[in-house]
Amino acid sequence: MIIKVITCKVSEECKEDFFEEQKIWKALSPLNGFLGQVGGWSNKEPLTACIFAFWENQVAYQYFMDNSHDEIFFRSNQSSTYKFIDVSLYEETITIPGSEKRIIHAFEKGKYVRMARVQVKPDHSDHFIEMQETIWNPGMSVAEGLLGGLFASSKQRMRDFLVFSCWENERFHQEYVEKHFPVLVAATKMQTDVQEIKGEELVLEEAWRVLPSNNGGL
């Protein structure tokens, strides 16, 4: 699975226009290989929008970029509503188990998202991935309200990883942070592997949720 992470910084006067133009991306729904798109405003920075798009594989994503992206993008006129944009691509390497068996169902039901972008120290990637598989995944999967998530590696930068989790609501995520997260940090000795971490949390905007109309999904 390919994950596209888009962050846009907008001004206060353009926030409503950005919100409305983001709805244009409903046009993704029928495209082959499209698995879903969700997004919302950062809890930390209310003028930063975070969008997450999911594609079945690189071939499907590249076909979209070559044939459909520009048409949708220019139709939305969204470029006039933000002052900064960052686009990052990741490829899923590990599924984070949750209450939903298929990740597409997590996109359908989720109300809250936590994203962490992690830059790992040189020569620590293997250990960081091992900790994700053996400690973080089992530890997260027992948390109430976790619908599902994924661990992915950057397609653009070495030692750059994404941890994405989708929750029933903010309350369940907060309970995880208080009850489980400190234990997992201590068990993995996370600070020995991590060089830098940038996190975002957000309530998902229902108007921005785009689900595939072709009954696909993983």
pLDDT tens track for 151-208: 999 998 999 999 999 999 999 999 999 999 999 999 998 899 999 999 999 999 999 9
DSSP 77-131: TGGGG-SEEEEEEEEEEEEE--S-SSHHHHHHH--EEEEEEEEEPTT-HHHHHHH
Taking the whole predicted model, whether its pTM rises above 0.85 is answered as yes
